[in-house]
């Protein structure tokens, strides 16, 4: 029976795996399972390893992908918009502020991307971008969701999908 009054085995960690320490860190497996469930690692949610350091002891735990930080600058780049062929869609990110510039045609632009220029402002939070499209006659708070899966894209609630142009 352990300190918690349970019959479950304990995980013993020490700074030297080959010899037993006089005061190893002892942790009940049931507690590890509870922590794993709280972190969402039950199942196949994550494979990225994070390390917790404590007095020369490393405890490696699985961290699900939704807990890993997202680099919001990944949203920055050149995009193609199927609703406006050949028109420019450029997003620049500085901190949490996004600047969107582009061109529009009716419905598309010439092959060089020229057309009626526009500039919009947005806010980036994680993998989402909230853009004020009101200067173009659209909503003032349209939320796009960045999908990093190849090909990377921004999915808009109206069903439009801007695909990132690689190499620009």
Give the model confidence (pLDDT) of 45-90 as tens digits.
333 333 343 334 344 444 455 555 668 889 999 999 999 999 999 9
According to the model, what pLDDT value does residue 35 have?
Answer: 59
- Does 134 have pLDDT greater than 50? yes
Which pLDDT belongs to residue 34?
A: 63
Model confidence at 36, pLDDT cuts 50, 70, 90, reads low
Rounded to 5 degrees, what are φ and ψ at 163?
-100, 130
Could you count the other beta carbons within 10 Å of the beta carbon of residue 47?
10
Q: Which of 37-41, 76-80, 99-103 has the lowest mean pLDDT?
A: 37-41
Residue 146 has pLDDT above 90, yes or no: yes
Q: Are 52 and 38 in contact (CB under 8 A)?
A: no
**Who contacts 63 (Cβ-Cβ below 8 Å, separation ≥6)?**
39, 41, 46, 48, 49, 50
H or E, element range at 30: helix 29-39
Q: How many CB atoms lie within 10 A of CB 160?
A: 15
Segment 38-50 shows an average pLDDT of: 42
Task: Specify the domain boundaries for CATH 2.40.128.50 within the chain.
Answer: 72-164
pLDDT for 93 equals 95
164 has pLDDT over 90: yes
pLDDT of amino acid 66 = 52
Helices (H) and strands (E) in the chain, counts: 1, 12
What is the assigned CATH class of domain 72-164?
mainly beta
């Amino acid at each position: 029976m352990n300190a918690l009054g349970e019959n479950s085995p304990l995980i013993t960690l020490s700074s030297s795996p080959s010899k037993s320490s006089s005061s190893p860190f002892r942790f009940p497996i049931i507690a590890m399972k509870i922590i794993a469930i709280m972190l969402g690692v039950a199942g196949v949610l994550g494979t990225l390893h994070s390390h917790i350091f404590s007095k020369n002891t490393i405890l490696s735990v699985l961290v699900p992908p939704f807990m890993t930080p997202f680099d919001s600058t990944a949203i920055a780049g050149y995009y193609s918009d199927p609703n406006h062929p050949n028109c420019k869609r450029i997003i620049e990110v500085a901190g949490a502020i996004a600047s969107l510039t582009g061109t529009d045609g009716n419905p598309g632009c010439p092959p060089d991307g020229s057309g009626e220029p526009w500039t919009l402002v947005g806010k980036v939070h994680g993998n989402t971008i909230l853009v004020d499209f009101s200067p173009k006659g659209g909503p003032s708070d349209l939320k796009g969701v960045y999908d990093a899966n190849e090909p990377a894209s921004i999915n808009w609630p109206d069903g439009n999908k801007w695909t990132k142009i690689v190499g620009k």
